[in-house]
Amino acid sequence: MTEPTPATAPPRTVRQRVVRWIKVVCLGLALGYVGKIAVLMMLENSLVYHPAGPEDWTPPPSSLVQDVELTSAAGDTIHGWWFPLEGSTGALLYFHGNAGNLSARGHWMSVLREQLGQSVLIVDYPGYGKSSGSPNEAGCYAAADAAYDWLTKNQKIPGENILIYGASLGGGIAVDLASRKPHRALILIKTFTSAPDVGQEAYPWLPIRWLMRNRFDSLDKLANCKQPIFIAHGDADRVVPFSHGERLYAAAPGAKKFLRIPGGDHNDSLPGDFFEILKPFLAEATGK
């Protein structure tokens, strides 16, 4: 007795083969898309923060500059430079951008001190320069609080006499601090509405606004910044689009001034008339 011959599967039609191919391609694209999201989520902090350590250090511009060491509520040791100005009754608290460390800004701190007639404190975020730890949003806010407390408690400077200045990433830190602490005025230079907004514009095909952990939601927090606000932004900025500055200005609730920098890119120097515009605004808006 012979065994029965197994039934032969009918050959696939062209339509079935095309459908199968489409499914395979779609699955591959979906896996690739999810993979890209996973990689970006793992690399988020390295994309947001670009710290330089103590090995990449520029000496202070003057022997009068003092090293300051603070401990933040997050447990990080925060290093800063203090640029005192004799006779000054106020101070400017400076938060820098996402690259390098505070030592690269030493000359500009000296310029700010002389032009505005204020002592200046600049601090590094966790993982930057001589500060310990690793950078993240909460750690940056904790560093800002430690710096503010040092000015008000150690230097006995009233909060109402402190100018809060944030450039680029530092703008997100400055807005958060200004939304919670008394201050004289807030100065924002080439900064963003939020970190996810910048990320979404860089990667429009990814759900950055839903997934990004570092938020720096300045646009939302600005409503709580009741003191005068000065905003400067270049209209050719290729890192943080000019529209971010415009939207921040529109959201500012009180006395405010917007400086449009024609042709200004993100890393360009501020225009020569910067202080000629800033100083009268501060004097008129704050009475100091």
Residue numbers annotated as active site = 168, 237, 266
d(CA 167, CA 108): 12
Do 267 and 100 form a contact (C-beta atoms < 8 A)? no
- Residue 229: which of 245, 208, 206 has the closest Cα? 245
- CB-based contacts of 187, cutoff 8 Å, min separation 6: 163, 164, 165, 166, 174, 229, 230, 278
Can you spell out the DSSP letters for 27-70? HHHHHHHHHHHHHHHHTHHHHH-EE--TTS----SSTT-EEEEE
* CA dist 184 → 144, 162, 238 (Å): 16, 5, 31
